[in-house]
Amino acid sequence: MCAQPNPAATKNEIQVVSAGNVPTSNYYDPKLGKIVYKTALLVNGEKNYLFETFADPAAAFDAVKKRDAAYLSFLSKKIGEPEGSLSEQNWEKYSQANGSSPEPAEQFMGDAKMTAQYGDLVSFFGVCEDENLNRKILKKVEQKNFWLKIPLVQRVSLKQLDIPMQNTKLYKAIVNA
pLDDT of residue 33: 75
With respect to residue 107, please indicate whether it lies within any of the assigned structural domains.
yes
Residue from 161, 116, 114 nearest 136 by CA = 161
With respect to residue 1, please indicate whether it lies within any of the assigned structural domains.
no
Handedness of CA 88, 119, 33, 152 (dihedral sign): positive
With respect to residue 100, please indicate whether it lies within any of the assigned structural domains.
yes
pLDDT of residue 173: 38
With respect to residue 115, please indicate whether it lies within any of the assigned structural domains.
yes
With respect to residue 5, please indicate whether it lies within any of the assigned structural domains.
no
Per the structure, how many domains does the chain have? Answer: 1
Cβ neighbours of residue 56 closer than 8 Å, sequence gap 6 or more: 33, 34
With respect to residue 18, please indicate whether it lies within any of the assigned structural domains.
yes
pLDDT of residue 66: 94
pLDDT of residue 176: 32
Run means of pLDDT, 10 residues per run, the chain, 177 residues: 48 67 67 78 72 88 94 93 94 90 66 86 89 80 58 36 43 35
Domain of residue 42, residue span: 14-174
Global pTM? 0.70
Residue 57 near residue 87 (C-beta atoms within 8 A): no
Q: Where are the beta strands (DSSP E) in 24-163?
A: 35-43, 46-49, 53-54, 147-150
